[in-house]
Amino acid sequence: MLRAGAVIVVFAVVAALVGPLLTPFDPAAQDLALRLAGPSVAHPFGLDELGRDILARVLAGARISFLVGLTVVSVSASLGTLLGAMAGYFGGAIDDLISRIVDVLMAFPGLLLAIALVAVLGPSLGNVLFALTIIGWVGYARLVRGQVLRAREFEYVQAARAMGAHTWRILWRHVIPTAMPAVVVQATLGMAGAIIGEAALSFLGLGVQPPTPSWGTMLNGGRAHLLDAPHLTIFPGVAIALLVLGLNFLGDGLRDATDPKSKSSNSRV
Amino acid sequence: MTRFFLRRLLLTVPVLLGVATLVFSLIHLVPGDPVQAMLGDSATPQDIADLRGRLGLDRPLYVQYAAFLKGVGTGNLGTSLRTNQPVTAAIAERLPATFELAFAAMFVATAIAIPLGIIAAVGAGTRVDYAATTAALLGISIPNFWLGPLMAIVFSVTLGWLPVSGRGTLAHLVLPAMTLGAPLAAVLARMTRASVIEELRELYVLAARARGVSPARAVLHHAFRNSLIPIVTVLGLQFGAVLTGAVITETIFAWPGVGRLLIQSISFRDYPLVQGCILLIAVTYVGMNLMTDLAYGFLDPRIRFD
């Protein structure tokens, strides 16, 4: 599972990086005479409603997806880890404040808060990144808080405290690293969530705006042509599903590799 | 027991207050003047002043906040800017459609996931298990905004079996319910598999087999029955994902529910209606989580001591 996930993700990364070399067409170039043309040798994924090469746009969309995934995950994970570690380590009023904010943000199901934020802030890539980060950091904070609550009682942490080590040094050097394996697993699955989140917002017309190619925007454009040009819907969807599947495989595999309990659940009964 | 229930109920109050505060502040997050944003560039200063007065945005912030909380408590969330209909009435009109879709999706998910999870658990480590686990992971990975159009292409466009949009007959419900239920089925199948595997390891299952109980009966009547608590919990907790998924599914299939109303009100910048829809979905989610927690506490006495 881990290997299959890694292969899919590496394939997607390479495709996103060398995308312009894989197709001679510009993702924004229009050929209205060939609009909605189906897959052919020249255009393996066909052309969209404005005669743009879908393969070129899927490859360009991959770059947007990775940009969103990496930005949201790195900011959310850093913020969530820091706040979760502070809540778990200091306890008291700091813990109460951070935990109540987490509770309130977690009271909104999944993407709903992101939809609400983008609805008022306006549709743009920047606002999508902001909204997905706002809903993203809470998961890391809750996860790290739990890990730190346990880690702060470890003898070596107490020893460091007794030796007079600075609080931030203890957190940075001794406490936060114990939460890292769980954070890495969460980040892998979180990247899949961020990519789906961006695509969902763009599909609803609240995310990346045309003509920038995003897989969600492409799927939204394909809705009007389900009858006459289903390829507009099929190829961007395959791209999202494949990348998310790869990231889920990778996340699950990493979890199995780091969690002995989940390893044993795979054994034969 | 009563103490556990009361404590859990009390813990919900600050969360609901936080949710209401966040929903209240949404309109103040609009860049620039929210009234100008709602009316557009062609609005006259008089129009802007009128709407500002109607929404109460000309009052001090704390007065607006108190009035909002009072409105939430009394079910008065203002009126829609587009239709002048009270927000609560507009939502109440659409609510049955959303609940119909949500419960149909949960039914579809349960009907697929439970047998799949049990089969995977019984054959854990075999090819059947890998196939079921991969199918479940595929279900989680395929976004419903792709699955929906894909099913419409197959079942409506190609085969002509089912209508592609609207609400009315059972046939209209099939595609939206399957689209919304598929990711839930995937999560539930994984949970069922893990939970049944856990129970199959217990000594009472071994004892049942030693007493001559058939393998099928040992699985279904012993292991599965005891693994139901976490499965039901996941089902309850996933209700939020179903509600969010409904926003997308209703948009795809033109299903006249609260989710579609939300997206329509966003496009018309009808912020009172946007706030109402968001508040309703979030409060329903909090309520569902509360009920799941209470049910869990009732079913599993160990929880009450946590």
Q: Whole-angstrom Cα distance, residue A90 to residue A172?
A: 14
* A203:B243 CB<8 A: no
- The answer to the question of residue A267 being in a domain is no
- Considering only the beta carbons, identify the residue of A111, A205, A230 that sits closest to B153: A230
ipTM: 0.85
Q: Name the residue ranges covered by the structural domains of chain B.
A: 22-74, 93-267
- The answer to the question of residue A198 being in a domain is yes
Nearest residue on chain B to A119, alpha-carbon basis: B266
pLDDT tens figures, B16-40? 999 999 999 998 888 878 888 888 8
Q: Token pair of B279, please?
A: 């508040």
pLDDT band at B204 (very low <50, low <70, confident <90, very high): confident
Nearest-CA distance from B149 to chain A in Å? Answer: 7
Question: Residue A157's domain spans which residues?
Answer: 2-18+49-260
pLDDT, greater one: B239 or A125: A125
Total number of domains constituting chain A:
1
Residue A239 sits in a domain whose CATH number is 1.10.3720.10
Cα–Cα distances (Å) from B125 to A247, B128, B187, in that order, read 22, 8, 19
8 Å CB contact between A81 and A179:
yes
Dihedral pair phi/psi, residue B258, rounded to 5°: -65, -35
- The answer to the question of residue A44 being in a domain is no
Q: What is the pTM of this model?
A: 0.88
| Coil vs helix vs strand at B166 | coil
Q: What is the DSSP string of A226-264?
A: TTT-THHHHHHHHHHHHHHHHHHHHHHHHHHHH-HHHHH
Q: B93-267 domain in CATH 1.10.3720.10?
A: yes
The overall average pLDDT reported for chain B is 88
Burial of A192-210, coded b for 16+ CB within 10 Å and e otherwise, reads bbbbbbbbbbbbbbbbbee
Give me the pLDDT at residue B51, please. Answer: 87
Total CB pairs under 8 A between chain A and B: 149
Cβ contacts of B288 within 8 Å, gap of 6 or more: B236, B237, B239, B240
Q: Whole-angstrom Cα distance, residue B116 to residue B120?
A: 6
* B31:A121 CB<8 A: yes
Whether residue B212 is predicted with pLDDT greater than 90 in this model: the reply is no
- The answer to the question of residue A27 being in a domain is no
- Considering only the beta carbons, identify the residue of A100, A116, A223 that sits closest to B278: A116
pLDDT tens figures, A34-66? 999 999 999 999 999 999 999 999 999 999 999
| Best A1, A3, A112 residue to mutate vs chain B (most B CBs within 10 Å) | A112
Nearest residue on chain A to B30, alpha-carbon basis: A120
